[in-house]
Structures are given as structure tokens and as C-alpha cells.
A = this chain, B = another copy of it.
């Protein structure tokens, strides 16, 4: 907490970040406009550009502000688990809880803002813009590497390639569940009875599902498509 910035400045930046978080969450990156963000934040349009330089940079700032602490926490929890295990492989459920549970817990403990960010994360992982992919890739590199390694050790009988795919699927189920916590209900037209504390009810259900998927029996043939009519599994590799 140096005093390179005045208290007033910090407030402005913070207000812009908070407003941007909400607008990006509600409208997506393309759908959001700097004007609306500035309006919601109660600041001038130019303030956003002054403090962050561009819309892209603002988006990255919004993302990193919470994503970084989330991923640091994920690393810390994993460190703790591995220290306690003293060299023994962790249980898959421990690893999943450290990765996905930490995410959900953070959203709960951070109140409504945390939920907003959680949904922003869910949406963002599906946005394919180049710069977003770059930003996420950088931010996630260490964490994914560590967790990937932990899963390899935890499931030595499962081919690594399969674990990677399943991590992929788990990420998808999670971001989708999070992003659509109030959206998908309309698509599917199902009343899940959820009202306000969706997150606390979501967590255990999601974790069970993920664990079941991760530990599922391997697909019939290791790398061959299902026995159907027109398979084309000729590889081009020599």
C-alpha cells in the first residue's frame, strides 16, 4: 500500500473495475461498451481510457484482479495438501476440491461481487477472442501445470492423455454451470427450486459429477472411434 496514488484515484479505478466487472458479465466483452461502464461507475467516459489505456486492457485488469488471487490460492491449497501427504499421491477428490472447490468457495466468501466475478469467469472461458485467450493462457499456465501433474500421480492407471481430456471436460461443465446459473434455467425451462443460495447447493452436486466423470471407466478402445459405419481413422503420420 504505497501512496503513489491518492485515495481518490484508487476509488475511481476501483469503481471502474467494479462497474466493468458487472457490465462485462452481463453483456460479454463485445456487448459491453465503455460508455455504459463509465456511466455505471459514475465517472467520465475518458476516465476508463486514462486509467487503463484501452477496453482490452480494462478487461484484462478486471480479470486478473481476482483471477490472480484465485490461482494463488489454488496453488497454496495444493501445496498444503501435498505437504500433508508427504510424497504420497493425493486423492482425486482432494485435487478436484482444491481446484474447483476453491473457485466456488471464493465466490461465496466474496459475497455478491464474488458471484458476479464467478459468472464472468464462466463466460470468459468461452470467449474465443485472441487477446482473451492469451491473457487466460498466461494466467493459468502454472496452475494447470501443477494440477495436471497432481492428477497424473493420483491416477497412474489412467493414460495421461485421457486425464487431460477429462480436465478439459470438467472445466467445461464448471464454467457452463457457473455462467448459466440463472441463464440455463430459462433455456431448459426447468425449475430447479434454486433461488438465492444456488452456489452452496451447486458445489456438492457439481463436485460429485466431476469426480464421477474423472473416474469413469475408460472408453472402449483406447484411441479408436466407436465401431460405426464410416470410420476414417487413417492417420497422416508416417
Given A203-B226, A226-B204, A233-B197: A186 touches B30 (CB 8 Å cut-off): no
At the interface with chain B, which of A41-49, A59-67, A176-184?
Answer: A176-184
- Count residues on chain A whose CB falls below 8 Å from chain B CBs: 87
Selected contact of A173 from candidates B172, B203, B218, CB within 8 Å? B172
Minimum CB–CB distance for A17 against chain B, Å: 21
Chain B residue at minimum C-beta to C-beta distance from A176: B172
Chain A interface main SS type: helix
Within 8 A of B (CB), among A84-126: 97, 101, 105, 108-109, 122-123, 125-126
Contacting pair B223 A201 (CB below 8 A): yes
A135 CA to B201 CA, complexed, in Å: 28
Assuming the contacts A137-B189, A225-B200, asked whether A206 and B26 have C-beta atoms less than 8 A apart, the reply is: no
Check B187–A140 contact: CB distance below 8 A.
Answer: yes
Contact status B188-A144, CB under 8 Å: yes
Q: Are B209 and A221 in contact (CB under 8 A)?
A: no
- Please indicate the chain B residues that have their CB under 8 angstroms from the CB of A187 in the complex: 125, 133, 136-137, 140
Question: Which residues of A in the span 156-176 have a Cβ within 8 Å of any Cβ on B?
Answer: 161-162, 164-176
Q: Are B175 and A176 in contact, with the CB atoms below 8 A? A: yes
Determine how close the nearest CB of chain B comes to the CB of A46; give it in whole angstroms.
23
Q: Closest chain B residue to A215 by CB distance?
A: B212
- The verdict on A236 contacting chain B, using a C-beta distance below 8 Å, is yes
Contact (Cβ within 8 A) B217 A204: no
Q: Is A205 an interface position by the 8 A CB rule? A: yes
Taken together as a complex, chains A and B put the C-alpha atoms of A217 and B210 apart, in Å, by: 11
Task: Please determine whether A137 and B186 come into contact, CB atoms closer than 8 angstroms.
Answer: yes
The 8 closest A-B pairs by CB, nearest first: A212-B216, A172-B176, A30-B30, A213-B213, A204-B219, A173-B173, A200-B225, A209-B213
List 8 A-B pairs, Cβ < 8 Å.
Answer: A26-B128, A125-B187, A128-B179, A133-B183, A137-B186, A166-B209, A168-B177, A211-B216
Beyond A137-B188, A166-B205, A208-B219, list 4 extra A-B contacts (CB 8 Å).
A28-B30, A208-B218, A212-B214, A213-B216
